[in-house]
Structure 1
Amino acid sequence: MHTSSDFFVPTIDISPYVLDGATAAADGTDRRSVASDIDYACSTVGFMQILGHGIPEDTVTGLASAMDSFFGLEPAAKRAYICPPERNRGYTAPKSESLSLSLGVESASGTNDWFEAFNVGTGEANTWPECAGFQRAVERYFAEAARVARTLTTVFADALGVAPTVFSDITDRSLDTLRMNNYALDPGLRVPDTELTGMSEHTDYGLVTVLWADRVPGLQVLGIDRRWHDVQPVEGAMLVNLGDLTARLTNDRWVSTLHRVRPPIADGTIQRRRSAAFFHDGNLDAVIAPLPSCIEPGDVARYEPVTVAQHIAAKLAGSRGGKANTSATREAERVRSAVT
């Protein structure tokens, strides 16, 4: 891992887009400032820290408690909730996925990822564990994260200078997924740092990701210097990053940034780390192609049109199905050029 005085993840207060009524009446200038800050973050880093999101603190603590109740079950009890990979729901056991295969790249460590996860999402396909209060707490957080994601796409439209319908038309039936992650090695287990990959290098698949995470080390982002940089959430912030579909829409004006997770290790022992990623991916039948306004004079469209369903299926076939994705050539090249 590396640090650099030139690398930072901007912190942006989006409250001018969250507040309603009289408070928002005079927010035109404030909104333009937020949109400008978002444009800068999306163009340079592809990650940002979001404050003013309005998610109640007790909703976040309720989610964390629900996650603890499930991940604290015995392994056999958790495995009862494993679903087929293409369903993208239920439980994922440690070392059963490799996120880097979603880019067609073998993990740098040569092993599958150490995290375990539980997925829920829109539609009727969810499976719910028999943990007291789990479904209620998770659904409450899911609704709040969905609100934040949709607020962000409103900011995106302003930042890009396009009509709000550019995003609303492709997200009114959005495939949204909440993936709750636990870095599953027992706390205190002594392990060699170099042999572990909590979550291998990958880009997110959809439009935008809203991430809650413990304020401990682990998350690393690939900078334009092709080096990995540590990122930890500031107090009360959600980490937000763009997915591949937004990079496609903007013809790479905005960045779908590669990131990974190293299990947090202090003095040779594993530390506890949890996260919950809300993926706002768009309507399955929506066709994603570069916006004409994002194709600069003299440039060309860098991506062929693809439906959300086609794109997500290719990604999941890699990460959850073990079949290397051969269509992510631009992202794979960035992984291979990174300084480990």
Structure 2
Amino acid sequence: MQSIPHVDMRRYQNDFDAFTQDVGNGYEKYGFIALTQHGVDTALIERALDTCRELFALPEDVKKQYHRPGQGGARGYTPFGTEVAKDAKHVDLKEFWHVGREVEGEPAYPQLLPNVWPQELPKFKDDMLAIYAALDNLGNQVLEALSVYLGQPKDFFRNKVNNGNSILRPLHYPPIIDEDTPSVRAGAHEDINVLTLLVGSREPGLEVLAKDGTWVPVTIIEGAIICNVGDMLQRLTNHVLPSTTHRVVNPPAPFNEKSRYSIPFFLHFNPDVMITPLESCISDENPQRDEPITADDYLMQRLREIGLIKD
């Protein structure tokens, strides 16, 4: 693998069958694709990344006012050095803020908690909700293609993600001060959710683990959005679509002297969706690998493993 496959989103409108094959084949081989011509406004992406810079530049004591202990980082601020990749020995070198689905009135599920907004940066709310909506819509288009690729109706996923506890995660990886640190910006991991859509970053560091065991730097066309399979989709497809291991390594000079910013969007199932392997993905050659589990139970299990929820 030289890099991940690029998929032109314009084919969603003008050649859906070809788009379906592009998406499905890309995921079945690599678990990662890069979406080009995706229609998400470049100005919105740039503005959101710049607003995130301003957010994380706020004083530490101000940011920590928006930390919500006991919520597993579900909303608001999570301080530097909190999260650790599953089975890793060292914490990740990052801080982040979680924005969830903005709900008016009574939420469909108790897991859809109120968002936490920084009073010091009013534009943060508008910018984050705008990019949340854009990425949620884009993710649903990709899921329509996957539905067909997996032999399901085109709208198969629609009522399974319409009230999902999907998360937008503005991320800040500060400059690497200690070049000998055993920690990396994000240790090798797989994502928990259904699909992840990554906006940014403008700096190098993201690497994907190829099937031959080598780490491949993700080099993408300017403006593309990286979109990868998460563990929930891997379970649903009985591992036909792989949730590929990836990491963010500490970059070489001069990039290590700069902060890295990115905004992943983690698209989730509705909390009560039962993740049961699809019959179309089970065969004699690929027997059922995982037992059914609800999306929320699986999420809680994984959040404990990465240290965001303490028993």
Q: TM-score normalised to the size of structure 1?
A: 0.83
Which residue pairs with 1:290 in the alignment?
Answer: 277
Q: Which amino acid aligns with 1:202?
A: H
Cα deviation for residue 152 of structure 1 reads 0.9
**How many Å separate the matches in 1 of 2:133 and 2:5?**
25
- 1:33 is paired with a residue whose SS is helix
- 2:79 is aligned, of 93, 97, 101, to 93
- Deviation for aligned residue 1:7: 3.6
Residue equivalent to 1:182 = 172
Query: Structure 1 residues 267 and 210 mapped into 2: Cα distance closer, same or farther (>3 Å)?
Result: closer
Structure 2: how far apart are the matches of 1:304 and 1:15?
A: 37
Shift of 1:153: 0.5
Is 1:42 paired with 2:31? no
Q: CA deviation at 1:88?
A: 1.1
1:195 aligns to what SS in structure 2?
A: coil
Is 1:15 aligned with 2:10?
Answer: yes
AA matched with 1:12: V
CA separation of 1:141/1:269 partners in 2, compared to 1, >3 Å: closer, same or farther? closer
Give the Å deviation of 1:142: 0.7
Could you tell me whether the CA contact under 8 Å between 1:264 and 1:271 is conserved in 2? no
Per the TM alignment, residue 275 of structure 1 is displaced from its structure 2 partner at its CA by: 0.7
Q: Secondary structure at the match of 1:266?
A: coil
Q: Which moved more, 1:189-198 or 1:155-164?
A: 189-198
* Greater fraction of residues in helix: 1
Runs of 4+ in 1 over 3 A off after TM superposition: 320-324
What secondary structure, in the 3-state scheme, does the structure 2 residue paired with 1:200 have?
A: strand
Distance change (3 Å), C-alpha of 1:197 and 1:323: farther
Residue in structure 2 matched with residue 113 of structure 1 by the alignment: 92
Given the alignment, which residue of 149, 152, 156 partners 1:162? 152
Q: Partner amino acid for 1:239?
A: I
User: Which of 131, 134, 152 is the equivalent residue of 1:141?
Assistant: 131
CA distance in 1, matches of 2:181, 2:73: 33
Contact kept in structure 1, 2:99 and 2:167, CA below 8 Å = yes
Return the offset for 1:230: 1.1
Unaligned runs of 5+ in 1: 1-5, 18-23, 325-340
Distance 1:294 1:224, change over 3 A: same
Distance 1:322 1:193 in 2: 29
Aligned to 1:328: none
Could you tell me which amino acid in structure 2 is paired with residue 93 of structure 1?
Answer: P
User: Could you tell me which residue of structure 2 aligns to residue 215 of structure 1?
Assistant: 202
Partner of 2:140: 150
CA distance in 2, matches of 1:230, 1:125: 37
Partner of 2:122: 132
The alpha-carbon distance between structure 1 residues 263 and 170, as it changes in their structure 2 partners (threshold 3 A), is: same
Distance 1:42 1:196 in 2: 29
Alpha-carbon distance in structure 2 between the residues aligned to 1:87 and 1:132: 21
Shift of 1:298: 4.5
5+ residue gaps, structure 2, are 102-111
Change (3 A) 1:134 1:289: same
Q: What count of residue pairs does the alignment treat as equivalent?
A: 299
Q: How does 1:309-324 map to 2 (within 5 A)?
A: 309-321=296-308
Q: What's 2:294 paired with?
A: 307
Give distance in 2, aligned partners of 1:265 and 1:193: 12
The answer (yes or no) to whether the contact 1:190–1:268 under 8 Å persists in 2 is no
2:203–2:255: 8 Å Cα contact kept in structure 1? no
Task: Note the alpha carbon deviations across 1:99-130, whole angstroms, 9 max, x for none.
Answer: x22xxx1x2xx321111101010144211012
Q: Is the 8 A contact 1:191 1:268 kept in 2?
A: no
TM-score in terms of structure 2 length:
0.90
Q: State the percentage of identical aligned residues.
A: 28
- Aligned-residue Cα RMSD (Å) equals 1.9
Further displaced range: 242-251 or 84-93: 84-93
Residues 265 and 271 in structure 1, CA contact (< 8 A), matched pair in contact too = no
Tell me the CA shift for residue 194 of structure 1.
5.8
